[in-house]
Each structure stands twice: as structure tokens, then as C-alpha cells.
Amino acid sequence: MSSDRPLILISNDDGIASPGLAALIEAVHPLGDVLVAAPLSPYSSAGRSLIWGSRTIERRTWPLAAVTAYAIDAAPALCVRVGLSLLAPRRPALMLSGINLGENVGSDVTVSGTVGAALEAAANGVPAVAVSLEAPVEYHDNPRPGLDFRAAAAFAQRLAQGLLAHGMPAGADLLKVDVPNEPGRAFPWRATRISRQMYWQTLVEESPDGSKRIIGYERQWDSNVLEPDSDIYALVCERAISISPMTVDLSARVDHADLARLLAQRL
């Protein structure tokens, strides 16, 4: 890898064989040297878990000369940690996660391994972007061809180029990007907040004997109280690319004096 080019670390949660990962690498490799540290197999819904599998780290050949790739039997966030601590020849200028097979919007985002990988990079001081493409549920755990990643990949390239040139917006540690899935259409983009609503709701099947079991999940939200500045609203209602700035600081924005008075009354 050339030391005079920015180093871009790339990971995902759909695994090293995901077409979304390949599309992201293809889009951004002209911008710098690329180091891939991705799960050996799909690791969706892992959040920021640091679970090891067999502790396997396999070097993989990639058709692009500026790309060095490793498949790691670990959760996405741990792949990023391994990439930063063991594999990177120098500090990455940017970390990209995705392109995920399925949107990551609403309060479910902490479940996402795609977002978890970006959070891990951001927590280590590396600017990060998590990119997800809206997709039918049947694609979420099945990294197969069939989705059109061109719009998501093109936007990721533009965003990465801008961040490498100008840095992350003040106050943000990472950006979460969600792209509508309508092949051939150009999308506007919106700066959004993360909705407080859950977007993915659990499906429960009840048997005649009264027993219940979880059979999957589906999209479900309350449009009556959906925030018009939210990621869900932008993606679903406006059919726009949602860009949500995030921070690793999860502290509630409360008045500490008020909190102290409340606690003093109750403790």
C-alpha cells in the first residue's frame, strides 16, 4: 500500500462474500488504499458486539490492486478492531461499513452490525460511515445477487470523497446513510435525525394450543407520530437518501442540576 494515499478501512455485517461489500469497494478504491476487514460469514444484528468465532483471520485475494482483504471469523465491530490494531499499516483516514442488505433506520439502529462496525471505528477516533440499501426482507440474511447497488455505491463514493477532503461535520463521529431501492432513479438527500420509533417489528405466531413463537420481522411504524425530520420519514415518505449524523456519546441531554434535585428528593 502506498503511504501517500489515504487508507480506507471497509467492513460490513453481511460477510466477505456480500455483493454490497464488493460494490462499496469498487466505488471507493480510486480514492485511496483500501483495507477490508470483514466477517467470514454473515453477522447481521450483531450491534457493536465483540464476539470471536474461531479466531480465524484469512487473507483473501481481491481483483483490485489497491485492495488488501481479510475475512475474519468475528462480529463486525471486532473485525474493525482487528483491522485497526493488527492489520492496518497506518491509521485509516476513513472507515466505511456496508453496503448493507436492508435499511437501518429508527431506534433499531443499535441492533445493526453495519452501524456497530462504524461505531467501533468512531470510538477509536476514525471518521466512519455506515451505508445501507433498502431491501426486501428475504435478502437480509441471504447475500445473493439481485439488488442494484449503483445508487448507494455512487453516493458512498461522493460522500467519502467529501469527507476525505473536508472531514466529518462538527459534532458528529459517524454518518448513517440509508438509500431507497428504486433502480434507475436519482434520489435527493436529506440530513435527518434517527427516529425514536422502532421500524422493524417482531412477528409472532400463535398456535391453536396457545403457545407462541417468533417467526420473523416486518416493517411497521406509526405514520401519525412519525417525525418529519427523521430517517424513516426521509426514506419511506420522501423517497430520499437519509443522512443521520451520530455520536459515540450516548449521554442524555438533560440539565444535571435538575437531575441532582430530582435524585435528592428520592434517594
Q: What is the pLDDT of residues 18-73, one digit of tens each?
A: 999 999 999 999 999 999 999 999 999 999 999 999 999 999 999 998 899 999 99
Bond before 99 cis per omega within 30 degrees:
yes
CA–CA dist 77, 46 (Å, integer): 8
Position 113 scores a pLDDT of: 97
Position 81 scores a pLDDT of: 98
3-class DSSP assignment, residue 170: coil
Position 146 scores a pLDDT of: 77
C-alpha cell belonging to residue 78 = 471486532
Distance (Å) of CA 73 to CA 12, 77, 260:
13, 12, 45
Q: Which of 202, 253, 187, 165 is nearest to 45 (CA)?
A: 202
Please state the rounded mean pLDDT for residues 146-153: 93
CA–CA dist 4, 256 (Å, integer): 46
Please state the rounded mean pLDDT for residues 178-184: 94
As to burial, measured by CB atoms within 10 angstroms (0-12 exposed, 13-18 middle, 19+ buried), residue 213 is: exposed
Position 224 scores a pLDDT of: 92
Which residue bears the cell 483473501? 60
Annotation: CATH topology of 7-196+224-246 = Stationary-phase Survival Protein Sure Homolog; Chain: A, (3.40.1210)
As to burial, measured by CB atoms within 10 angstroms (0-12 exposed, 13-18 middle, 19+ buried), residue 11 is: buried
Q: What number of CA atoms fall less than 13 Å from residue 38's CA on the CB side?
A: 31
Could you tell me the strand order of the sheet in which 241-246 lies? 52-60, 67-74, 33-39, 7-11, 94-101, 128-133, 174-179, 241-246, 189-191
Q: In this structure, which amino acid lies at residue 13?
A: D
Q: For 215-235, how does the pLDDT look when each residue is reduced to its tens digit (9 = 90+)? A: 888 899 999 999 999 999 999
CA–CA dist 83, 71 (Å, integer): 10
Q: Is the pLDDT of residue 265 over 60?
A: yes
What are residue 116's DSSP bridge partners? none
What are residue 100's DSSP bridge partners? 132
Asked if residues 35 and 28 have their Cβ atoms less than 8 Å apart, the reply is no
Position 1 scores a pLDDT of: 62
CA–CA dist 198, 109 (Å, integer): 9
CA–CA dist 19, 26 (Å, integer): 10
Q: Which of 153, 163, 168, 126 is nearest to 241 (CA)?
A: 153
Position 26 scores a pLDDT of: 97
CA–CA dist 241, 155 (Å, integer): 9
Q: For 90-147, how does the pLDDT look when each residue is reduced to its tens digit (9 = 90+)? A: 999 999 999 999 999 999 999 999 999 999 999 999 999 999 999 999 888 876 677 8
